[in-house]
Structure 1
Amino acid sequence: MIRVGVVGVGMMGQHHARVYSELAKEGKVELVGIADINFERAKEIARRFNTTPYPDYKELAKERLDAVSIVVPTSLHRQVALEFINRSINVLVEKPIADSIENAEAIIQAAEENDIILMVGHIERFNPAVLKLKELIERGELGKLVTISAKRVGPMAARIRDVGIIIDLGVHDIDVISYLFGEPVRTVYARAGNVVHPAGVEDHALITLGFEDGSGIVETNWLTPHKTRTLTVVGTGGIAYMDYIEQRLKLFNDEWVKDAKINKREPLRNELEHFIECVEEKKTPLIDGYAGLHALKVALLAQKSARTGKVMEVE
């Protein structure tokens, strides 16, 4: 049985612990322990999900784990991930993979040298609506893709401390749009600013992504009082409207309007089950380190574009 742990049990990390505890009840994993610098928080979550709390992730790393979810602030991803990777423990690190290209590459290199599974937690790839949309695109239901536009807006999340809106939220749709086009982003241009946050921490952005024969647009902010998570895909054969939250997908063409049949399911559950499957079967995850690196590169270039006013080439 796969022995798992979780480092960081804040807003998102507690849900990793919850899903693993559900999988443990089904006999699919053993939740060995959770670690958090806030030990009172760790003890509270450990009691809730029947596992062992640790005040230091290095102590958890000694517990013969097979896999770990790292759900700590982005600036800490490298140091925490390397602790587990260098012990040959398979790692799922929450998106973005790191806070810099250098740190992301260090994580990827260490994973390859230790021959372990490295997965990046781009959760929207496991949203049933996104998976259905990808299936319909590949089947040719929308013809050749022309544009994909995303809106990811809402109030500020109290959990965010160390990154701006592009890295925290925009990176989701950067990854999804690239995935749906089936190719990497080639150019990026962005406008961004800060209304209620300090200089250097953007809280709203509009990002334009260039592909070989199409374009993507990401609108994101922490200023809208209600949460919206939508995606629109325009193709030569039709248009699709998707709602991430409701997991709904509607297709239009010249002849009909129809709703896609979607088996709704928690994306995080899908994601963690995929991670465990990859660990068990030693197979490459849907979101490996290089996919996470590409999304990070584009997000960082979007920030640079917003500062300089220039279109950036993605290498």
Structure 2
Amino acid sequence: MPEITRLAVVGAGAFGRNHLRVYRELEAAGQPVVLAAVVDGNPAVLAQACAQYGVPGFASVEELLATGLRLTAASVCVPTVHHASTAVLLLEAGLDVLIEKPIAATREQADEILAVAARHGRIVQVGHLERFNPAVGAARAHLNRPMFFESHRLSVFTPRSLDVDVVLDLMIHDLDIVLSFVDSPVREVRAVGLPVLSPTVDIANVRLEFENGCIANFTASRVSTERVRKLRFFQPHQYLSLDFARQDLLMIDVTAAAGLTAEQLTALVEKHSKPEAPGEPKHPTAGLSMRKIPVEPGEPLKLELESFLNAVTTRTTPVVDGHAGRRALALALDITEAIAAHTRRTGL
């Protein structure tokens, strides 16, 4: 029998409520996990969470730890500015932690978290949710030296997460994924962004160049009229289009046309001129075959928390460990600094 993980959720706001829900669902399904406590500084929010999930509630991490309640791990779902102080208290108390993205507000705070975790032999996972999107896993299986990325992550405006700019709020998801896809350091960052409805940057466009020559363009907005979550990338003889919201992955393959004789190419044209079978997409250009890659649907948060619990139980490195979270944060902050420099230069 695997050891039961006893968990606390710190922060019962928008993110924390979902962690509470999924942990309780996993517990009810017989997973070796017990939702043991919730922490929130807002009395009304705390009372609601305690009533809904039937767990003891505490106004602070210090209050929780003072009770001596037996705990194994915790989800840190407080505002970004409190990530480091909260995580350090939990790590020093001997708990493994899952920290919602970004790992911290600064590079120095991220380094402190990593140092404390190493000193106490604790696990740190960072909540880069989209890493667990089934479409991302399907795309990873088809990676072959990607050389160009185009990312769009657009949302309608909400008052959530206004403690950070759109780069740390939304774009960081795609930064983390592209960093995990491209095994090369970033060589150059160019960025522009503007505040629209909040005091921080609400819309941003970024161009990255990696040392291996790969180029990645990112657009993120939290003041859009529509919700878009897409990543497209090109690699030798292939183009892949990933829709995070629909958990779809489309591949356009040009290898079928490479090196063909005129007669073979003519036959290929004729083949693509015929009506396709029901449910099979067809590219309008001859020589380009288009197919949907099978994706097993799943809730990314559930997959993320299951992965965290597995890392805690087996004492293995998480899929998105603290170092990956620190890398994504550092790049996001580089972009924020590039936006500030562009603003000063242009007087926007």
**Where on the TM-score scale, by shorter chain, does this alignment land: which range?**
over 0.9
Q: Specify the alignment match of 2:285 in structure 1.
A: none
Q: Specify the alignment match of 2:320 in structure 1.
A: 287
Shift of residue 55 of structure 1?
1.8
Q: Specify the alignment match of 1:127 in structure 2.
A: 133
Q: Does 2:26 align with 1:23?
A: yes
Runs of 4+ in 1 over 4 A off after TM superposition: none
Return the letter of the residue paired with 1:47: A
Return the letter of the residue paired with 1:241: S
- Take 1:229 and 1:85, find their aligned partners in 2: how far apart are those partners? 34
Return the letter of the residue paired with 1:2: T
Q: Specify the alignment match of 1:148 in structure 2.
A: 149
- Take 2:42 and 2:195, find their aligned partners in 1: how far apart are those partners? 30
Q: Does 2:306 align with 1:307?
A: no
Listed one character per residue, the Cα deviations across residues 84-111 of structure 1 (whole Å, up to 9, x for unaligned) are 0001100110100100011110011000
Q: What does 1:45-56 align with in structure 2 at a 5 Å threshold?
A: 45-56=49-60
- Take 2:203 and 2:187, find their aligned partners in 1: how far apart are those partners? 22
Structure 2 SS opposite 1:19: helix
Moved more, 95-104 or 50-59: 50-59
* Contact preservation (8 Å) 2:132, 2:300: yes
- CA shift in 2, pair 1:217/1:97, >3 Å: same
Shift of residue 184 of structure 1?
4.1
Return the letter of the residue paired with 1:289: G
Moved more, 103-112 or 22-31: 22-31
Structure 2 SS opposite 1:292: helix
State the TM-score, normalized to the length of structure 2: 0.84
Q: Specify the alignment match of 1:249 in structure 2.
A: 249
- Take 1:282 and 1:51, find their aligned partners in 2: how far apart are those partners? 27
Shift of residue 178 of structure 1?
1.0
Listed one character per residue, the Cα deviations across residues 139-176 of structure 1 (whole Å, up to 9, x for unaligned) are x4xxx312011100111232223111111111111101
Name the structure with the higher strand share: 1
State the TM-score, normalized to the length of structure 1: 0.93
- Take 2:42 and 2:342, find their aligned partners in 1: how far apart are those partners? 41
Moved more, 208-217 or 63-72: 208-217
Gaps of 5+ in 1: 311-315
- Take 1:184 and 1:172, find their aligned partners in 2: how far apart are those partners? 18
Q: Say how many residue pairs are matched.
A: 303
In terms of Rg, which structure is larger?
2
Return the letter of the residue paired with 1:42: L
Structure 2 SS opposite 1:37: coil
**Percent of aligned pairs with the same residue?**
31
Q: What does 1:162-241 align with in structure 2 at a 5 Å threshold?
A: 162-198=163-199, 201-211=200-210, 212-241=212-241
Gaps of 5+ in 2: 255-287, 344-348
